[in-house]
Amino acid sequence: MIRGCFLSGDTVLVWSPQGAISLRRDHRITGSLIGGLPTSPRQRDYMGLPLELLPEETSLLLKKGLIYISTYNEPHPDNETKIVHSSDCTDAIDHVNTDTVNTDTDYVNWNWPSTDEEVLRFRVYSDLWQKGYYITSGLKYGGEYLVYEGDPAIVHSHFIAKLLQWDEPISPLSLVQDGRLGGKVKKNTIYCTVNPTTDNVEYLTLSWSGIS
């Protein structure tokens, strides 16, 4: 079980380097690195820990028993000294807070998914993951997910996944927009839904070929 996973607001952050590596290498969970690099703080091309997990990734990992989510209390010592004059470096050093950080943790109850929309997202995400795909956020291309046949660091995504309720109509304009967008970025759009009769996740692939 991977530890070093902490709840921050409504997001789970992985602070363990070994945990982040294991998630990607062993479980096809990529997350998003959101931390700055100490040696290159003024750029955003390469990020470091923590690793931010999608709610779908968190729920899947918990369901599989692969992670342990904790919360912790930051220390607030009673004798903390406020440094009034930041220019007085010598005095500041004498008053640096050296209290040991409290590492006591409590297990967190995770209640996602809780709505119909979240349940649909989790069902589709889990089904794609079970089929062996890597899945990341698809907001960049107007979808719910980007679907990869290999590690996103090595290959490009093949599909833009868009989610629909079973009885939700698709307008002709949406078909044209999604088809043209997918063709422009060399990806196929897939509409994903859950069949209420069979309770299976079903897919409709949209491929734009244009008119020759």
Task: Provide the pLDDT for residue 24.
Answer: 98
Q: Is the dihedral of CA 64, 66, 132, 195 positive or negative?
A: positive
Q: What does the pLDDT profile of the chain (212 residues) look like in tens digits?
A: 999 999 999 999 999 999 999 999 999 999 999 999 988 888 888 999 999 999 999 999 999 999 999 986 655 555 444 444 444 545 554 554 444 444 445 668 899 999 999 999 999 999 999 999 999 999 999 999 999 999 999 999 999 999 999 999 999 999 999 999 999 999 999 999 999 999 999 999 998 776 65
Pinpoint the alpha helices (H) of 64-209: 89-94, 116-130, 172-184
- In the structure encoding, which two tokens stand for residue 85, read together? 């004059």
Is residue 156 part of the annotated active site? The answer reads yes
CA 188 to chain CA mean position, Å: 22
Q: What Å distances lie between residue 184 and 31, 46, 134, 205, CA to CA? A: 26, 27, 22, 16
The pLDDT score that the predictor gives to residue 103 is 45
Q: Is residue 97 part of a domain?
A: no
Are residues 170 and 212 located together in one domain of the fold?
Answer: yes
Give the CATH number of the domain where residue 135 resides.
3.40.1350.10
- Side-chain-side CA neighbours of residue 26 (13 Å): 12
Give me the pLDDT at residue 49, please: 96
H-state helical runs in 95-203: 116-130, 172-184
Residue 23 lies in a domain: yes
**DSSP labels, 72-105:** EPPP--TTPPP-S-TT-HHHHHHT---PPP---E
- Same domain? For 207 and 108 the reply is no
Residue 1: CATH number of its domain: 3.40.1170.20
Instruction: Flag whether 194 is in a domain.
Output: yes
Q: Are residues 44 and 139 in the same domain?
A: no
What domain range includes position 54?
1-76+102-112
Angle at 24 between CA 200 and CA 109, to 5 degrees: 65
Annotated catalytic residue: which of 125, 133, 187, 191? 187
Which one of the listed residues 63, 131, 140, 156 is annotated catalytic? 156
For residue 1, give the nearest of 70, 55, 92 by alpha carbon. Answer: 70
Looking at the domain assignment, is residue 176 inside a domain?
yes
Q: What is the pLDDT of residue 43?
A: 87
For residues 62 and 128, membership in a common domain is answered with no
pLDDT score recorded for residue 44: 84
Residues 148 and 136 in one domain: yes
| 107 and 164 in a common domain | no
Whole-structure pTM value: 0.83
The question of whether 148 is a catalytic residue gets the answer yes
Asked if the structure places residue 188 within a domain, the reply is: yes
Give domain status of residue 93, yes or no.
no
Per annotation, catalytic residue among 125, 148, 162, 191: 148
Whether 26 and 36 share a structural domain: yes
Looking at the fold, whether 9 and 106 belong to one and the same domain comes out as yes
How many structural domains compose the chain? 2
Q: Does residue 156 sit in the same domain as residue 203? A: yes
| Contact (Cβ atoms closer than 8 angstroms) between residue 147 and residue 135 | yes
User: At which residue do the structure tokens 């729920």 appear?
Assistant: 59
Phi-psi region of 9 (alpha: psi -120 to 50; beta: other; left: phi over 0): left
Q: Are residues 108 and 148 in the same domain?
A: no
Identity of the residue numbered 111 = N
Residue 162 in domain: yes
CB distance 72 to 13 below 8 Å: no
Tokens representing 17 are 């380097």
